[in-house]
Amino acid sequence: MSRWLVAAGIYNLVWGIPVILLPDLPFELVGMEPLADPGRAIWQCLGMVIGVYGVGYLCAARDPLRHWPIVLVGLLGKIFGPIGFVWSAAQGAIDWSFGATILTNDLLWWWPFGAILLAARRAHRAADTASA
């Protein structure tokens, strides 16, 4: 569990920091027109949020069962992010090709984060049973 969270933390930092510093790069890589302000500034803020999630995952890696709320918030973001993407792409606000990022930004993490949350639930139930 800790290794998955360390990997997620590093991944989020490696993804978030360039979005802050080089916000046009992801769009250029998929052949899209870079965002103009205020969208560009919002995109950079998203990079900051993703980087902060990375710090949270690294902290949670020290004791995943205790820090399950960080994992839960991360999983929710990784579920709602693709939903938001599909909605935006269906509206024509973003190109469907940009969805390739969902594979590594979101879907890859559903199973390990879900497994961590399940293990935390089991551990807390066992602790409750033992104390009763």
Residues 67-91 have pLDDT tens digits of 999 999 999 999 999 999 999 999 9
**Beta carbons of 98 and 85 less than 8 angstroms apart:** yes
Domain containing residue 96: 2-131
**What are the tens digits of pLDDT across the range 90-126?**
999 888 887 888 999 999 999 999 999 999 999 988 8
Q: In the prediction, which pLDDT does 69 show?
A: 97
**Beta carbons of 47 and 17 less than 8 angstroms apart:** yes
**Beta carbons of 40 and 75 less than 8 angstroms apart:** no
Is the confidence at residue 43, as pLDDT, over 80? yes
Q: In the prediction, which pLDDT does 27 show?
A: 83
Q: In the prediction, which pLDDT does 127 show?
A: 83
Q: In the prediction, which pLDDT does 35 show?
A: 85
Is the confidence at residue 131, as pLDDT, over 80? no
Residue 53's CB is within 10 A of a number of other CB atoms, namely 22
Task: Please enumerate in sequence order all residues whose Cβ is within 8 A of that of 69, keeping only pairs 6 or more positions apart, or say none.
Answer: none
The number of distinct structural domains making up the chain is: 1
